[in-house]
Amino acid sequence: MWSGRFREPLDTEFEQWQRSIVFDWHLLPQEVAASKAHASALCAAGILTMSETAELRAALDAIAAAHASDAGKAAVRDHASAEDIHHFVELSLVERIGSLGLKLHTGRSRNEQIATDLRLYIREQIQLTIAALAAWANALVELAKKSGEAVMPSYTHLQRAEPVLIAHWLLAYVEMLLRDISRLKDCAARLNFCPLGSGPIAGATLTLDRWIAAKELGFTAPTPNSMDATSDRDFVLEFLQALTFVGLHASRFAEEITLFATAEFGFVLLPEAFSTGSSAMPQKKNPDLTELLRAKVGRIHAAAEAVTLQLKGLPLAYNKDLQETQEQAFAVEFVPQMLSLVARFTAALTFNHNAMKTAAENGYLNAMAAATYLVYKGVPFRTAHEKIGNAVRYALEKGVELNALALDELKQFGSEFDADFFSAINLNSTLDCHDVLGGTARHRVRLALEETRARIAALAQVRFAAPAYPEEAVNAGA
């Protein structure tokens, strides 16, 4: 590819060591797509004839098809002499169509190619991840719907706080996933510009119409600066950072399910299809899926951390250091599959509604509702808090819940207590007093469920298509 000016052969160990084909084989479909787009631009610039362009593009398609299978991918990875995926495609082209294959590299550089391939690759990974996140979010909504008005305790400091609808708890995770989707979409929108035509650093040496390739590849526009375009890997880091949030959210869900599936909680029944046994203890059913899920964020974050350090202090423009960022992007290819497993796991979860209800009804989780009752009787909240606190202490000593106290007993803590106190602190009132947007009142959750579905559907739509071609826009009178 570049041996012309060299007198000595490369050290064979170094030659192997600096190769990227062992991992950038992942990028064959992107390399082929970008090469086809470049051929079209060369044709428009008069460097290739129509028939040469057609022959090149067909040969490129044939190369992609020949290596789509697992064996085909392995053949790319193990290629004896290709240094990287760009070299591989060039060698394969020459093998298929002779010296015409060598014409493709006119007016381009591997620096712009890898920048383009990686953008296309990450854009696709983003689409896959968003689809998987949306599927998981829908599974959570489905489970929330199935839970109806079933309740559970909520926790702060892992101490019982107030009763909530199970649906309300599940929808909290959906909010996290929706933010994840929007972060990934932001990343996709920012990366969706085409580096082709940037050359190795200063721009192509041919007057290429850069919109041709940009449009064919579904980019929003060509990148505005060749030095930035060939050395920018912000999008790799941004993608990994966005995935870090996905991993964090997954780990929180994983931790809660793991905890709630313990005998001590007994809230969640682990689906057998997603659990494992113990080779030693015959009675065990272990939550391996959620445990692995909880740990996966480590890999994702490590990849983001690695890229941060790889990019730090790099002078403009292309440096071979950038090659190292690729493996970090490939290291998180497991994420969409992981998410789709979690979606199926979520759909298979069953709750012990009785245990959850009992836990929600014991431990004075209605104390805030009780204080609110006094507030409606005109007591300042601070005073109401104090009065209910006293009542709770009294009930604790007696070993009963607030609703088991007689009105006479309550009256010693405040003259405001009346017979309607008991209906104000039953389970439904305790839920429904949270009648605010985002609260756990039953009708609020019902509304939230309906809205959430639509929000998932709207947010999960991602389409990458270039806007009107400048000439077309001009012809359309824009």
As annotated, the active-site residues are 157, 278
Using CB under 6 A, which of the segments 100-108, 319-327, 336-344, 439-447 binds ligand ARG?
319-327
Owner of token pair 């920018």: 232
Task: Outline where 312-349 has alpha helix (H).
Answer: 323-330, 335-347
Task: Outline where 20-165 has alpha helix (H).
Answer: 21-24, 28-44, 50-66, 70-77, 85-97, 100-103, 110-146
Using rule CB under 6 A, residue 90 touches ligand ARG: no
Using rule CB under 6 A, residue 20 touches ligand ARG: yes
In angstroms, give the least distance from the CB of 51 to ligand ARG.
30
DSSP assignment of 124-160: HHHHHHHHHHHHHHHHHHHHHHHTTT-EEEEEETTEE
Nearest one of 170, 353, 147, 360 to 269, comparing CA atoms: 353
Helix H or strand E encompassing 304: helix 288-311
- Annotate each residue in 320-349 with x if it binds ligand ARG (CB under 6 A) or - if it does not, as one string: x-xx--x-----------------------
Using CB under 6 A, which of the segments 183-191, 260-268, 290-298, 316-324 binds ligand ARG?
316-324
Among 32, 60, 114, 449, binds ligand ARG (CB under 6 A): 114
Using rule CB under 6 A, residue 84 touches ligand ARG: yes
Cβ closest to ligand ARG, residue 111 vs residue 198: 111
Cβ closest to ligand ARG, residue 24 vs residue 162: 24
Query: Rounded to the nearest 10 degrees, what angle do helices 110-146 and 335-347 cross at?
Result: 10
Using rule CB under 6 A, residue 111 touches ligand ARG: yes
Q: What is residue 351's three-state secondary structure?
A: strand
Output the furthest CA–CA distance in the chain (Å, rounded).
Answer: 102
Among 36, 38, 57, 110, binds ligand ARG (CB under 6 A): 110
Cβ closest to ligand ARG, residue 265 vs residue 330: 330
In angstroms, give the least distance from the CB of 198 to ligand ARG.
12
Using rule CB under 6 A, residue 233 touches ligand ARG: no
According to DSSP, the β-strands at 193-194 and 159-165 are unpaired
Using rule CB under 6 A, residue 311 touches ligand ARG: no
Six-digit token pair at 302?
């490590």
Query: CB-side exposure of 473: number of CA atoms within 13 Å?
Result: 7
Q: For the stretch 439-455, what's the b/e string if a residue is b when 16 or more beta carbons lie within 10 angstroms of its beta carbon? A: ebbbebbeebbeebbeb
* 230 neighbors 200 (Cβ within 8 angstroms): yes
Among 318, 351, 373, 421, binds ligand ARG (CB under 6 A): 318
> Rounded to an integer, what distance in angstroms lies between the CA atom of residue 124 and that of residue 191?
12
Using rule CB under 6 A, residue 35 touches ligand ARG: no
Cβ closest to ligand ARG, residue 312 vs residue 320: 320
> Rounded to an integer, what distance in angstroms lies between the CA atom of residue 360 and that of residue 161?
9
* 41 neighbors 197 (Cβ within 8 angstroms): yes
Using CB under 6 A, which of the segments 90-98, 177-185, 317-325, 404-412 binds ligand ARG?
317-325
Query: CB-side exposure of 113: number of CA atoms within 13 Å?
Result: 28
Using rule CB under 6 A, residue 276 touches ligand ARG: no
- Chain positions 361 to 400 lying near ligand ARG, rule: CB under 6 A, are none
In angstroms, give the least distance from the CB of 233 to ligand ARG.
10
In angstroms, give the least distance from the CB of 30 to ligand ARG.
12
Using rule CB under 6 A, residue 286 touches ligand ARG: no
Using CB under 6 A, which of the segments 91-99, 106-114, 375-383, 443-451 binds ligand ARG?
106-114
- The residues of the shown chain that bind ligand ARG, judged by CB under 6 A, are 20, 24, 84, 110-111, 114, 318, 320, 322-323, 326
